[in-house]
Structure 1
Amino acid sequence: MPERRLGVSLQVLIGSAFAIGGFILQHSLSGALGGFPLLLFVPAVFFSAIVLGKIGGATTTFCGAALAGYFIVEPRYSFALTASSAVALTIFVIIGIGMSLVIEALRGTIEKLNESERSKALLLEELAHRTKNDLAIISSAITLQRNASSDPAVRDALAAANARVLVVARAQERLRGGKADGRVDLSSYVAELCHDLGDLLRDVRPIAVRVHCPRLLVQTDLAVNVGLIVNELVTNSLKYAFPSERGGTVEVTLHSEPNRLVIEVRDDGVGCEDLGKAGLGSKLVKLLAKQLAGTVEREAGDPGYIVRVTLTGNAGSAATISRD
């Protein structure tokens, strides 16, 4: 159904053309159609009502009835109709007008639904914009507080908090430029996140951060949680796995399995002597995994250190179903 309506004159003109088209087809197939002199006028009315609206449908109905009554219905070439022919034409007119009104009602409903969708999209865009601005204000406040502190421990803690805020902000930005159904592509989102972390934390050390993730679409809330998990794990590797000027590689791998989403961060650094020791970042990863019905596994690499987070339940199902 065209969104833009034509003027009344054009509707009448084109509606008449639909009727003439139906008449030509009906007349050319009169031998095959036999006792159905109005059959092909019905689809003409239907398409006219869809394309033009109720005025066009009504025009096609009355023109079709006139053409059929004069040229097709016996006695031909006369409007002196028999009682049965008059009843048939009257029923056709009633059906045509009713069809036009029903289609017009459907058109109105569709227009309201489209308007509702546009309004919803606008509201979501406005909400995302406001959320982005709010997160930017929070990030700026944390940065100012960090710069005002002379305690290295406080500065590091505020920097970590700011990085977590930026993870959420980046997911919101992805949502604004992403799909209309509110899904985020984990592949590009995690790749951008890891690229930024590498630029921020590697300093002059030759450390490569590589991301292996298929195109995987998930809802924004799950993307935020995955981003926070990856942020903590990659940050830990960049901060502690490569002391002094040591270089190396941090590998981030995400893949979906039936009802599972697996996140693995592996580095080839110096490893960790105490695998059971958990800092704030590790506790946050465990908390996020627990909220998503997941588990966290840590093991020594050869060389380096491996952390594997497996998300199951609703989180894993959402990732699997949404995969392109």
Structure 2
Amino acid sequence: MNRLYPLVLEHRIPAFLRYCISTCIMVVCAVLEMALQMQTGSAGYFVLLPGVFLSGLIFDRGSGIFAAAIAIGVVAYMSYAGATGLDYLAPNALFAITAAGAATVAEFQRAELKRVMQADKTKAVLLQELAHRTKNNLAVLSAMIRLEARNGGPEVAAALEATARRLHVMAEVYDHLSLKQDSRLVNMRYFLNNVVEKVFDSLASAGPIAFQVVCEEVYLPSQQALAVGIITNELVTNALKYAFPGDKPGQVAVTLSTSDGIELSICDNGVGLRGEADPGGLGSRIVLLLTQQLDGQLTYERLDIGLRVTLRAHPR
């Protein structure tokens, strides 16, 4: 639909050029009609009508009427040989009515197509405006929580700061939201980069740690993208907090692939996992709930150096 929009609504072709193109279309139809008549010996003239309809649909009412006039002239010329009186006028009058009807139908069809495409464009604009306002509201709420965190104790401040980061991830989704094939999709390549970058910015004091995000330019529905974004936020936050004690340098790698479902991997070269794989904190419970929402499975793999957490999901 979006590809048809410039063709039908935004073309700025001069009238002379439109009529020239309509003439070319009708010439092609006339040649096909003559070839068909030579092969079959019958003169149906129906091949001319698609040219009339196409000219009226692509350009405007004037082009459709012009094409209809050409079609009527071609029929009058081709049926002139040997025909006189009513035998000549009746078929030509009937074809003239049919050609005018084709031009009128094309005009109605073009008007309806224009209305539908304008409604589609308006819907996309409204979606972008709604996404922008929602993002701004979430950003304001996140800033208010961060301000409140300054007035609490260390534990309260840490909890509020984590909540603010989660809200920021939710707001970040709307920055990458687009309407494709009537679905709200998120470009995961840029979204994940922004999520991981914001986590590193907020936890910069964790030490000289680098990050890498490996993700092709894939799109996920907004709900799935939000779940993957929050899971990434929680797992990267845990890696920065616990994998590199004492300002130890290191690296965190985030990988997302969708070749066979959703596969998200967060790998670090830190101290690894101590104790059970499920710490039981709020962040871990959030990750577990979102994993269940995606109908996925979360695995913790102890490496020689560090830890890899992998989410595999086949959402419906």
Deviations 1:1-49 (A, max 9, x none): 642699xx97997799679958985999799476539566545533432
Change (3 A) 1:136 1:313: closer
Look up the match of 2:229: 227
Tell me, in whole angstroms, the C-alpha distance in 1 between the residues paired with 2:28 and 2:268: 73
Secondary structure, counterpart of 1:244 in structure 2: helix
Q: How many residues align?
A: 306
State the shift of 1:271 in Å: 2.1
State the shift of 1:204 in Å: 6.7
Once the two structures are overlaid, the 10-residue window that deviates more, 186-195 or 196-205, is 196-205
Tell me, in whole angstroms, the C-alpha distance in 2 between the residues paired with 1:124 and 1:183: 12
Look up the match of 2:262: 261
Change (3 A) 1:22 1:168: closer
Letter in 1 for 2:162: A
Secondary structure, counterpart of 1:123 in structure 2: helix
1:183 maps to 2:205:
no
Look up the match of 2:91: 88
Secondary structure, counterpart of 1:235 in structure 2: helix
Give aligned-pair identity as a percent: 29
Unaligned runs of 5+ in 1: 315-324
Look up the match of 2:275: 274
**Does structure 1 retain, via aligned residues, the 8 Å contact 2:253–2:266?**
yes
Correspondence list, 1:289-308, <5 A: 289-308=291-310
Change (3 A) 1:19 1:93: farther
Change (3 A) 1:42 1:141: same
Structure 2-normalised TM-score?
A: 0.82
**Does structure 2 retain, via aligned residues, the 8 Å contact 1:18–1:45?**
no
Once the two structures are overlaid, the 10-residue window that deviates more, 188-197 or 41-50, is 41-50
Secondary structure, counterpart of 1:310 in structure 2: strand
**Does structure 1 retain, via aligned residues, the 8 Å contact 2:271–2:306?**
yes
1:157 maps to 2:163:
no
Look up the match of 1:143: 146
**Does structure 2 retain, via aligned residues, the 8 Å contact 1:26–1:38?**
no
State the shift of 1:186 in Å: 1.5
Equivalent position to 2:311, from 299, 309, 312: 309
Letter in 2 for 1:101: T
State the shift of 1:312 in Å: 2.3
Tell me, in whole angstroms, the C-alpha distance in 2 between the residues paired with 1:139 and 1:301: 35
State the shift of 1:266 in Å: 1.8
Tell me, in whole angstroms, the C-alpha distance in 1 between the residues paired with 2:17 and 2:279: 77
Change (3 A) 1:39 1:292: closer
State the shift of 1:97 in Å: 1.5
**Does structure 1 retain, via aligned residues, the 8 Å contact 2:291–2:297?**
yes
Deviations 1:165-185 (A, max 9, x none): 010111111116x85742112
Tell me, in whole angstroms, the C-alpha distance in 1 between the residues paired with 2:171 and 2:280: 26
Structure 1-normalised TM-score?
A: 0.80
Change (3 A) 1:32 1:131: same
